[in-house]
Amino acid sequence: MASNAIRPLDHQTYMRLALSEAQKSPPKPTNFCVGAVLVDEGTNTILATGYTLELPGNTHAEQCCLQKHASAHNLPEESVGKALPPDTVIYTTMEPCGKRSPGNTPCVDRILRTKLDGKSGIKKVYIGVTEPEKFAGENVGQTKLKEAGIECIHVPGFEEQILKVATAGHEK
């Protein structure tokens, strides 16, 4: 999916695209509505998009991106790193989760397992907001990513919009 309309390294536009994905997520009191965009930064190509609950199950945005890209390459999601270009990044409206309910792999761990050989895999995570402590307590997502050599970069200017979309369906 070429992104000719988006200039290379236009983080604001990619975050707006992630926010538009988040708006597709069905509001629920037990989830944040999050959007994500998987991008080959080297060629400025969108590899996949995703949003919370897009795919069957209690799926998160980053998980949906990775599952869709893996599926497009006839791979299980656990092996998606084999199909990722060397300059892969992900834009996500909210910091990837570091904890999930039993039976669900946290998004941070999904991102970490894309790094098969130290060369492939997701290199950077562009984040709109840190995850509020509502469901999982303190999120250690960015810390785990940074410890594994994955850059976490805040894209400012969207915090209010992101939190409004993310908490749709929550009691005020």
133 catalytically annotated = no
Strand-pairing partners, residue 154, are 127
Tell me if 166 sits within 8 A of 34, measured CB to CB: yes
- For the chain, report the end-to-end CA distance as a whole number of angstroms: 38
Distances (CA, A) of 147 to 91, 135, 143, 144: 19, 23, 6, 5
Residues 6+ apart with CB under 8 A from 132: 32, 163, 166, 167
Look-up: residue for tokens 């390459």? 73
Strand residues in 54-150 grouped as ranges (E)? 88-94, 122-129
Q: Pick the catalytic residue: 54, 62, 95, 131?
A: 62
Quote the tokens at residue 157. 């200017």
Q: Which residues are catalytic?
A: 62
